[in-house]
């Protein structure tokens, strides 16, 4: 047995102490380690394009304090999440989705826009009950422990829903939906095969729109009947979240089952430094149209339901709109840039309207307080109250984006909430951390 004298013990004990001190100094503090992941679309990919999804129950948090029992899809035996994981594949590849069912009733997945879907190797088929009534649009996995394997060849590039096809009125409302992104082969930086659909891969966003009638969810949770003639949605969501949770980071601590944020964070268009637009993928998993209004910036609608906006000869039929009206079951893809159209400049091209002096502004909250005391993006602040050096982080600009059916921009009737988020535009040089 190795014996050490006391001096050696002391020397050896000094080594881990020094190492611990170095580690404490080197290891990032909580603000770094807990830093939010970047906003934007988060893909679930698989090398063999095979995905395991488990239909399961869990709880979603609403900003007003309510907690809603939901059904949705967990990825690969992981935790429940709303919406289901965003599956990303390339056009033309064979895709496998194994659905495991832990719900107390049969369920299934349909893939609108994908053709020749097989279920356990056979063509996926609608199902009926003994009386011949349609119960499912496609092959189901049995209640509690059933599973079914769907395979298909990914269709044209674009954005698609995947969703329950069983008792769809109820199961879709319960949250059984997610997004399927099909990327063009060889051009993952494009929305579709057209060269003019190129976007900045770091500025790709998901707006998966939905709604919740809490009474239905409570009935399902308590295994009670629900009268659909009394259906009334009270919560309206983007990626399973409502404002202000939509502007929280992806994987925010307080939203463990709602991992996807909906903040758009861009910089102004610049032909050299920032030439590519952001891409926003809209999907409607709800029961009514959501007239989504991006407010401060029009968007260029380039595709709908996985099909590019083009004529028979390939002519560009995309168009700019201030209203992206997404119908139930529909997807719409838009490109967005934020352009300094008038080139305002405090010296060479000043805004010809004198700014009100500080005392003439309402110093306090209100619509006007999105203002940083400087109308020029990233400019030096103007007159500020004593002791205040900056009104926002770095001279950035925010505007809201929301459903223009204003009841959909509420949390159970309380605005601002619901289907609303923010678009943040940083100064051309970016925003220092």
Partner 1 sequence: MVAIPFRIPRPRLGRLVLALLVLALVAVSIVRFGGYADARQGYAVPHDGQLEATLGIRFTQAAVVGDGGLVELRYVVLDTQKASAFQNDTKHPPRLRNERSGKLAWRAALMKQGHELRPGQSYYLLYLNNGGAIKRGDKIEITSGQRRLAHVPVR
Residues near partner 1 (CB under 8 A) are 2-8, 10-11, 13-14, 17-18, 20-21, 24-25, 29-31, 34-36, 38-39, 63-65, 244, 247-249, 252-254, 263, 265, 362-366, 369-370, 372, 387-394, 396, 398, 412, 414-416, 422, 424, 431, 433
Least gap, CB of 373 to partner 1 (angstroms)? 10
Nearer to partner 1, 46 or 355 (CB): 355
Cα 331-401-340 angle, rounded to 5 deg: 105
Q: What is the rounded (10 degree) CA torsion for 78, 81, 86, 87?
A: 30
Q: Given the DSSP bridges, would you call strands 319-321 and 127-128 parallel, antiparallel or unpaired? A: unpaired
CA within 13 Å, CB half, 171:
27
Q: Given the DSSP bridges, would you call strands 264-266 and 420-425 parallel, antiparallel or unpaired? A: parallel
Tell me the C-alpha to C-alpha distance, in Å, between residue 129 and each of 126, 133, 135, 260, 316. 10, 5, 6, 37, 47
Least gap, CB of 61 to partner 1 (angstroms)? 10
Least gap, CB of 79 to partner 1 (angstroms)? 15
Nearer to partner 1, 84 or 378 (CB): 378
**Cβ–Cβ under 8 Å, residues 207 and 261:** no
Tell me which residue of 264, 205, 272, 198 sits closest to 428, measured CA to CA. Answer: 272
Spatial distance between the Cα atoms of 195 and 94, rounded to a whole number of angstroms: 25
Nearer to partner 1, 327 or 431 (CB): 431
Nearer to partner 1, 194 or 265 (CB): 265
Q: Is 295 exposed, middle or buried (0-12, 13-18, 19+ CB in 10 A)?
A: middle
**Kind and range of the H or E run holding 47:** none
Least gap, CB of 258 to partner 1 (angstroms)? 14
Least gap, CB of 151 to partner 1 (angstroms)? 39
Nearer to partner 1, 226 or 376 (CB): 376
Least gap, CB of 257 to partner 1 (angstroms)? 15
Beta bridge partners of 244: none
Spatial distance between the Cα atoms of 134 and 131, rounded to a whole number of angstroms: 9
- How many C-beta atoms surround the C-beta of residue 133 within 10 A? 7
Beta bridge partners of 163: 110, 177
Nearer to partner 1, 190 or 265 (CB): 265
Least gap, CB of 412 to partner 1 (angstroms)? 8
Nearer to partner 1, 258 or 331 (CB): 258
Nearer to partner 1, 320 or 369 (CB): 369
Least gap, CB of 361 to partner 1 (angstroms)? 11
Spatial distance between the Cα atoms of 266 and 148, rounded to a whole number of angstroms: 41
Least gap, CB of 7 to partner 1 (angstroms)? 4
Nearer to partner 1, 46 or 431 (CB): 431
Per DSSP (E only), the strands in 252-371 are: 264-266, 278-284, 290-293, 299-304, 307-308, 319-321, 324-326, 331-336
Nearer to partner 1, 171 or 250 (CB): 250
Q: Could you tell me how many residues make up the chain? A: 433
What is the DSSP code (8-state) at residue 345? B
Spatial distance between the Cα atoms of 306 and 302, rounded to a whole number of angstroms: 10
CA within 13 Å, CB half, 34:
6
Nearer to partner 1, 125 or 415 (CB): 415
Tell me which residue of 131, 127, 204, 193 sits closest to 166, measured CA to CA. Answer: 127
Nearer to partner 1, 231 or 398 (CB): 398
Least gap, CB of 402 to partner 1 (angstroms)? 12
CA within 13 Å, CB half, 364:
1
Least gap, CB of 262 to partner 1 (angstroms)? 11
Least gap, CB of 401 to partner 1 (angstroms)? 13
Helix (H, G, I), strand (E, B) or coil at 68: strand
């Amino acid at each position: 047995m190795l014996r050490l004298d006391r001096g050696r013990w002391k020397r050896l004990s000094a080594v881990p102490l020094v190492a611990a001190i170095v580690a404490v100094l080197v290891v990032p503090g909580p603000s770094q380690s807990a830093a939010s992941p970047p906003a934007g679309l988060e893909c679930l990919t698989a090398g063999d394009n095979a995905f395991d999804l488990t239909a399961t129950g869990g709880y979603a948090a609403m900003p007003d304090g309510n907690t809603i029992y939901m059904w949705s899809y967990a990825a690969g035996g992981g935790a429940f999440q709303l919406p289901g994981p965003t599956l990303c594949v390339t056009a033309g590849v064979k895709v496998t989705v194994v659905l495991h069912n832990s719900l107390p009733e049969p369920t299934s997945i349909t893939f609108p826009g994908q053709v020749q879907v097989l279920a356990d190797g056979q063509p996926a088929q609608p199902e009926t009950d003994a009386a011949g009534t349609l119960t499912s649009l496609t092959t189901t996995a049995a209640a509690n422990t059933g599973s079914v394997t769907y395979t298909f060849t990914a269709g044209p590039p674009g954005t698609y829903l995947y969703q329950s096809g069983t008792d769809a009125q109820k199961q879709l409302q319960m949250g059984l939906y997610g997004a399927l992104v099909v990327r063009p082969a060889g051009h993952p930086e494009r929305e579709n095969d057209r060269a003019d659909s190129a976007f900045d891969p770091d500025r790709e966003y998901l707006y998966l729109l939905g709604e919740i009638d809490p009474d239905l969810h409570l009935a399902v949770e308590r295994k009670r009947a629900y009268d659909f003639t009394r259906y009334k949605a009270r919560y309206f969501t983007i990626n399973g979240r409502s404002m202000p949770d939509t502007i929280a980071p992806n994987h925010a601590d307080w939203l463990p089952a709602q991992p996807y944020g909906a903040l758009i964070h861009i910089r102004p268009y610049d032909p050299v430094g920032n030439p590519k637009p952001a891409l926003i993928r809209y999907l409607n998993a709800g029961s009514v149209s959501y007239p989504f209004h991006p407010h401060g910036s029009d968007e260029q609608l380039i595709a709908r339901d996985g099909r590019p906006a083009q004529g028979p000869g390939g002519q560009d039929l995309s168009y700019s709109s201030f209203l992206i009206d997404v119908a139930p079951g529909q997807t719409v893809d838009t490109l967005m840039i934020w352009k300094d159209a008038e080139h305002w400049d405090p010296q060479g091209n000043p805004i010809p309207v004198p700014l009100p002096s500080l005392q003439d502004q309402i110093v306090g909250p209100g619509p006007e307080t999105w203002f940083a005391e400087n109308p020029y993006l990233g400019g030096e602040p103007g007159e500020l109250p004593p002791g205040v050096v900056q009104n926002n982080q770095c001279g950035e600009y925010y505007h809201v984006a929301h459903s223009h059916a204003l009841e959909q921009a509420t949390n159970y009737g309380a605005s601002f909430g619901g289907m609303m988020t923010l678009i943040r535009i940083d100064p051309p040089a970016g925003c220092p951390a």
